[in-house]
Amino acid sequence: MKLKTIHYWFFIFAICFFAYQQIQDNIRPYYAGENSIIVYLLGVAPNFFPAVGIPALFVLALPYVFQKKSEEFWMIKKRHAVANLISIIGLVGWEFTQQFGKLHFDWHDILWTFIGAACFHMIWVFTPERLKSRV
């Protein structure tokens, strides 16, 4: 079976979404260990996984949003960068809005958002060209 572009990118999104949900709902609340590295990684994981998964979803969505534009339109041609930028702005913006509410603002979360964005970019770089084609 030939792997289609839509399946590839949606699979990346789904894996990241599943990991986020599992860590947020089932692992973090019940982890009783005192290993500081695991506690730290569980704390930043809800920022890392969306920073990888959300751009994968935008890579699929951008060609549909700008379907009347040509293939040479810069938002289609560089959709991985646009998707990453949209994701970073949203996730970092959400982190900053948390300082005004009862949620927890943390610079480490912002750092791991950028690390996740870099991981998405590396996924894009190493993805075969046939899976980068317009959906």
pLDDT band at 123 (very low <50, low <70, confident <90, very high): very high
Angle between helices 107-126 and 36-65 (to 10 degrees): 50
In the numeric block, which tokens belong to residue 60?
A: 């699929």
DSSP state of 103: S
pLDDT digits (tens, 9 = 90+) for 24-70: 999 999 998 889 999 999 999 999 999 999 999 999 888 777 776 65
Spatial distance between the Cα atoms of 90 and 84, rounded to a whole number of angstroms: 10
Query: Which of 51, 52, 73 lies closest to 63, judged by CA?
Result: 73
| Residue 80, pLDDT above cutoff 70 | yes
Domain boundaries, the chain: 5-131
Rounded to whole angstroms, how far apart are CA atoms 94 and 134?
Answer: 30
DSSP 24: I
Q: Which residues contact 9 (CB under 8 A, 6 or more apart)?
A: 56, 57, 59, 60, 131
Average pLDDT over residues 110-130: 94
Q: What pLDDT sits at residue 3?
A: 65
For residues 134 and 71, the answer to whether their CB atoms sit within 8 Å is yes
Average pLDDT, the chain: 87
| Cβ 20 vs Cβ 53: under 8 Å | yes
Q: What is the pTM of this model?
A: 0.87
- Other C-beta atoms lying within 10 Å of the C-beta of residue 45: 20
Predicted local confidence at residue 2, as pLDDT? 53
When mean pLDDT is compared across 36-40, 44-48, 100-104, 119-123, the lowest value belongs to: 100-104
